[in-house]
Amino acid sequence: MSWLRISLAAFAISAALPVHAQTVTITTAGGDYGNAMKEAMWGPAAKELGYDVREETLSDGLAALKMQVTSGAVTTDVIHLGSPEGAQAAAQSLLEPLDYKIIDPKSVPEGAKSDYCYPFDSYGTVMSWNTKTYGENPPKTWAEFWDVAKFSGRRALRANAQDSIEIALLSDGVAPADVYSVLSTPEGLERAIKRLEAIKPNVAVWWTSGAQSAQLLKDGEADLVVTWNGRAQTVKADGGAADYTFKGSVIGTDCLGVPKGAPNKEAAMKLIAAMTQPARVAKLTDFIAYGPVNPAAYEGGLIPEDRLKTLATAPENAGTSVFSNSEWWVKNGEAAQQAFDEMMAR
Q: Residue numbers of the site for other proteins (CB under 8 A)?
A: 159-160, 204-208, 212, 219-221, 333-334, 337-338, 341-342, 344-345
Q: Which residue, 32 or 342, is less far from other proteins as judged by CB?
A: 342
Q: Which residue, 48 or 334, is less far from other proteins as judged by CB?
A: 334
Q: By 3-state DSSP, what share of the chain in percent is helix, strand and coil, each rounded to 5? A: 50, 20, 30
For residue 81, the 8-state DSSP code is: E
Contact status, residue 323 vs residue 307, Cβ threshold 8 Å: no
Nearest approach, Cβ of residue 183 and other proteins (Å): 17
Q: Which residue, 164 or 245, is less far from other proteins as judged by CB?
A: 164
Contact status, residue 272 vs residue 103, Cβ threshold 8 Å: yes
Q: CA–CA separation, 174 vs 307, rounded Å?
A: 30
Nearest approach, Cβ of residue 329 and other proteins (Å): 11
Alpha helices (runs of H) in 154-264, residue ranges in sequence order: 164-171, 179-183, 186-199, 210-219, 229-237
Nearest approach, Cβ of residue 201 and other proteins (Å): 11
Residue 79's closest CA among 272, 323, 279, 274?
A: 272
Nearest approach, Cβ of residue 162 and other proteins (Å): 8
Q: Which residue, 219 or 299, is less far from other proteins as judged by CB?
A: 219
Q: CA–CA separation, 132 vs 148, rounded Å?
A: 17
The kind and range of the H/E element at 80 are: strand 78-82
Q: Which residue, 1 or 345, is less far from other proteins as judged by CB?
A: 345
Q: CA–CA separation, 195 vs 182, rounded Å?
A: 14
Nearest approach, Cβ of residue 159 and other proteins (Å): 4
Phi, psi angle pair for 207, to nearest 5° = -85, 155
The kind and range of the H/E element at 201 are: none
Q: Which residue, 149 or 345, is less far from other proteins as judged by CB?
A: 345
Cβ neighbourhood burial of 309 (10 Å; 0-12, 13-18, 19+):
exposed
Contact status, residue 100 vs residue 269, Cβ threshold 8 Å: no
Nearest approach, Cβ of residue 70 and other proteins (Å): 13
Nearest approach, Cβ of residue 218 and other proteins (Å): 11
Nearest approach, Cβ of residue 337 and other proteins (Å): 6
Nearest approach, Cβ of residue 97 and other proteins (Å): 24
Q: Which residue, 35 or 160, is less far from other proteins as judged by CB?
A: 160
Cα dihedral 274→278→279→282 (10° resolution): 120
Q: Which residue, 85 or 96, is less far from other proteins as judged by CB?
A: 85
Q: Which residue, 289 or 344, is less far from other proteins as judged by CB?
A: 344
What number of CA atoms fall less than 13 Å from residue 65's CA on the CB side?
33
